[in-house]
Amino acid sequence: MRLNEARRIFKEIREIDERISVRPHAWRDHPERRFTALELVRLIRGRGVLRDNKYPSAQPRSFLWACMDDNLRKAEVALVFEQDKSGDLIVIIHAYREVKE
């Protein structure tokens, strides 16, 4: 992703900050990662870097939000932009972090 593209998407995330939706898969299907739904939302609203989602199994047109959690562990949150009748919204589809406890 080029810098201009990343900036545009980052701006988009900040503008539709209030309209976030979370897929249960992101926190429910991998309990070993110890995510909670609201923690994922907190991560998206915090600091991070936006990257292309280049995983082979990635959903098309999804992005990775790379950030640090409260415990300074690297976390990656996959998100897509969707639209409904009220406008744009961010959907958190997947999340990953390594927990060594």
Partner 1 sequence: MKSATVKNFRYQSAFGEMTFDSVTVLIPDEFGPRQASAAKALEGVDFSIPVPELKRMERELALAFFSRAYRAIMNDERTISVAELRGIQDILDVNRSELGKLLGLHKGSVTNLFKGKAMKASLCMLIMERLGMELGRPGSARHMIDGGNPERQVPAARRVINQARYPSGDEAA
Work out the angle at residue 21's Cα, subtended by the Cα atoms of residues 15 and 22, and round it to the nearest 5 degrees: 135
Q: How far is the CB of 38 from partner 1 (least distance, A)?
A: 4
Residue position matching structure tokens 């201009």? 4
- Greatest Cα pair distance, the chain, in angstroms, is 43
Residue ranges in contact with partner 1 by CB under 8 A: 19-25, 28, 34, 36-39, 41-42, 70-71, 82-85, 89, 91-93, 101
CB closer to partner 1, 49 vs 71: 71
Q: How far is the CB of 3 from partner 1 (least distance, A)?
A: 28
Q: How far is the CB of 10 from partner 1 (least distance, A)?
A: 19
Residue 68 near residue 88 (C-beta atoms within 8 A): no
